[in-house]
Amino acid sequence: MMRVVEAVQRRLLVLMIVCYVLAAVAPRPGQFVRTVALGPITLPMVLLAVMVASAGLGVRLRDLRAVAGKPLRLVSGVAANALLPVALLPAAGLLLRAWPDAGEVECLAVGLLLVLAMPIAGGAASWGQNAGGNVSLVVAMVVGSTLLSPATVLWGLTVSAALVGPGGAGSLDDTARLDGLAGSAGAGVFALALIVAPCVAGIIARALLGDRRVARVMPVVKLVNLVNILLLCYLNASGALGQALSHPDPDFLVVAVVAAGVLCCVSFLAGRWISRWTRCDTPDGISLTFATGMNNTSAAAVLAASWFAHRPQVLLPILAYSLLQKLAASLFCTPSARSLT
């Protein structure tokens, strides 16, 4: 079982690309499955909650206690992740104003805003571990960012929407839907129900079951989680890539990929700079770099599909960011990149 898990993990980026291609050429099954719902709860929401709960099951309380003596580095990683949308989006908004289609600019701005407002991705722990980082530190950053997400996501959406709205960079002409998303029944409830609660449930389940019992089932949990990730990739992509193929717009696709790639690289580089500013040793610096550079794109895609189903182009920069942050993470895992951290 572990060999299968390791093989899938090594090829995760390639398998995600396969899912995107499948969503582009055969989107209808994914579009149908996305409509399956029990009241306000859709299948992608359930898959997201299961994915986050699986990540929580992998958290050991002793890993969290191990970083109690390094509060500055822990706070730096969580704060950097929360501040990124406010720091990066106004500059991106000013650059995007030169694009001739105002509707496409809004889709790009909203998609990138949703990605950067999300908490640290659970995958940052795996990538950080593979790169030789401090696993306890990056796990604590992921958990801290996740637990604070109802507040940080709302704050990021509210402030960023103001900065890129009519009174700021001007990339958004109408922020009404974002204002609604930041309201009482929007992103805060989403983060609490589908990110915080499943993560806490996973952590509590591990504490109750004990490390030995959890270790027995972790290979199965990891395999199910990987399948879950790939299924989410297909379902989320089917909402945007099918339409992109039926109504091709190469210029928009290129600018979405470039904008997502630039912000992704800047996020990783910001993590590296903060690690140097806080004088981290190499393992802590690697952990801080991955925590700052990686956001929960699955949550951003599910949220976008729920609130911006009428504008599937919003998903394109999110999907591009999801792939590119994994590509960037793989590059930062190389020995030459680690030596610079």
- For residue 322, list its beta bridge partners: none
User: What's the CA gap between 324 and 341, in Å, rounded?
Assistant: 20
User: What's the CA gap between 129 and 288, in Å, rounded?
Assistant: 12
Considering Cα of 285, then 320, then 191, then 34, what sign does the dihedral take?
A: negative
Q: What is the CA radius of gyration of the chain?
A: 19
User: What's the CA gap between 266 and 98, in Å, rounded?
Assistant: 21
Is residue 168 predicted with pLDDT exceeding 70? Answer: no
User: What's the CA gap between 95 and 171, in Å, rounded?
Assistant: 9
Sketch the domain layout of the chain as residue ranges: 13-340
User: What's the CA gap between 314 and 109, in Å, rounded?
Assistant: 8
Q: What is the pLDDT of residue 340?
A: 45
Using an 8 Å Cβ cutoff, are 230 and 298 in contact?
no
User: What's the CA gap between 170 and 172, in Å, rounded?
Assistant: 5
Is residue 271 predicted with pLDDT exceeding 90? Answer: no
Mean pLDDT of 59-83: 81
CATH code of domain 13-340: 1.20.1530.20
User: What's the CA gap between 107 and 94, in Å, rounded?
Assistant: 15
Q: What is the pLDDT of residue 185?
A: 63
Q: How far does Cα 78 stand from its chain's mean position?
A: 14
Q: What is the pLDDT of residue 101?
A: 79
| Dihedral angle, C-alpha 83, 88, 93, 99, nearest 10 ° | -140
Q: What is the pLDDT of residue 258?
A: 92
Using an 8 Å Cβ cutoff, are 111 and 174 in contact?
no
Q: What is the pLDDT of residue 64?
A: 80
Give phi and psi for 280, each to the nearest 5.
-70, 150
User: What's the CA gap between 291 and 128, in Å, rounded?
Assistant: 8
User: What's the CA gap between 163 and 58, in Å, rounded?
Assistant: 37
Q: How far does Cα 266 stand from its chain's mean position?
A: 15
Which residues lie below 8 Å from residue 229, measured CB to CB, with a gap of 6+?
12, 16, 51, 298
313 is written with which tokens?
Answer: 């182009």
Which residues lie below 8 Å from residue 309, measured CB to CB, with a gap of 6+?
239
User: What's the CA gap between 297 and 199, in Å, rounded?
Assistant: 16
Mean pLDDT of 96-125: 83
pTM of the model: 0.85
Is residue 77 predicted with pLDDT exceeding 80? Answer: yes
User: What's the CA gap between 115 and 239, in Å, rounded?
Assistant: 17
Give me the chain's average pLDDT, please.
Answer: 82
- For residue 120, list its beta bridge partners: 295
Confidence of residue 166 (pLDDT cuts 50, 70, 90): low
Confidence of residue 336 (pLDDT cuts 50, 70, 90): very low
